[in-house]
Amino acid sequence: MTTQPNIAAVAFLIADPARVAMLSALLDGRARPAGELAYAAGVTAQTASSHLGKLLAGGLLAVETEGRHRYYRLAGPHVALALETLASIGPAESVRRKPLTRDAQKLRFARCCYDHLAGRVGIAVTHGLLEKGFLVAAEKKRFELTPDGAEWFDRMGMNTASIRPTRYGLARQCLDWTEREHHLAGPLGVHLTNLLFAEGCMRRAPSSRAVDVTPKGWKVLKEHFGIQQQALL
């Protein structure tokens, strides 16, 4: 007897608009309380509790308890990957489109895709790494780190020899749902994103997964990749 994944059950959980709103609010990798997720979904606390219970039972969420409070987060990067991939399905362009809201424009420009950098800035950084020969595209949606790349990352303050690859490798290609191109994910992408935050090149928006590039960050992007802010607007 063979077994197969219960895709229908997971699809049913994701299909509800309120649950999608909650999951989307957690795509930056941070944990949030039920009240904040209820607000994001536009539902009552009681309804939110029911949805969160189903998402926990379905393996899409994990929960942490701090005192009397419970904080919910995505069960892992595999959930974020599934959501981002689903978001990329559909026509790349519409004949008529409403103007993007300011928040949507900020997300498209730069955001956290769970634990790594995405959006136009993330794509530009990935293109820069490829053009410099620091990464090369490989099979199975992976990037391979070149010797020149390892030397560059180490100069930037990352000890690449100490970064442990996952079963998907050290660097993974993640399809960007707004740009329809691949950006850098995997342990290498996570460490690079963390470094950019730690060095003050980028900072998280307080209540969304949008990312702001600081003046220092633009200098770093221009110095290493020739990336200009105006070219990405």
Tell me, letter by letter, the H, E, C secondary structure of the chain: CCCCCCHHHHHHHHHCHHHHHHHHHCCCCCCEEHHHHHHHHCCCHHHHHHHHHHHHHCCCEEEEEECCEEEEEECCHHHHHHHHHHHCCCCCCCCCCCCCCHHHHHHHHCEEECCEEEHHHHHHHHHHHHHCCCEEEECCCEEEECHHHHHHHHHCCCCHHHCCCECCECEEEEECCCCCCEEEEHHHHHHHHHHHHHCCCEEECCCCCEEEECHHHHHHHHHHHCCCHHHHC
Structure tokens at 181: 């191109």
Domain shared by 224 and 139, yes or no? yes
Domain count, the chain: 2
pLDDT per position as a tens digit, 55-69: 999 999 999 887 778
Domain shared by 219 and 111, yes or no? yes
Please say if the pLDDT value at position 175 is more than 50.
yes
- Of the residues 90, 125, 156, which one is the last residue of a structural domain? 90
Q: What does pTM read for this prediction? A: 0.75
Residue 95 lies in a domain: no
Domain shared by 82 and 119, yes or no? no
Residue 42 lies in a domain: yes
Residue 189 lies in a domain: yes
pLDDT at 178: 86
Domain shared by 190 and 78, yes or no? no
Query: Alpha-carbon torsion 149, 196, 78, 64, what sign?
Result: positive
Residue 98 lies in a domain: no
Q: How far does the chain reach from its first CA to its final CA, in angstroms?
A: 55
The enclosing domain of 51 has a CATH number of 1.10.10.10
Domain shared by 74 and 129, yes or no? no
Average pLDDT of the residues of the chain: 90
Instruction: Name which of 73-82, 90-99, 182-191, 205-214 the model is least confident about.
Output: 90-99
Domain shared by 117 and 222, yes or no? yes
pLDDT at 75: 94
pLDDT per position as a tens digit, 70-88: 889 999 988 998 998 888 8
Domain shared by 110 and 66, yes or no? no
Domain shared by 123 and 82, yes or no? no
Residue 138 lies in a domain: yes
- Of the residues 64, 90, 116, which one is the last residue of a structural domain? 90
Residue 101 lies in a domain: no
For 150-167, what is the mean pLDDT?
95
pLDDT at 68: 79
Residue 97 lies in a domain: no
Percent of the chain with pLDDT strictly greater than 70: 93
Residue 2 lies in a domain: no
Domain shared by 63 and 140, yes or no? no
For 16-41, what is the mean pLDDT?
91
Domain hosting 189: range is 106-231
Domain shared by 180 and 116, yes or no? yes
Domain shared by 227 and 112, yes or no? yes
pLDDT at 96: 44
For 184-203, what is the mean pLDDT?
97
Domain shared by 57 and 142, yes or no? no
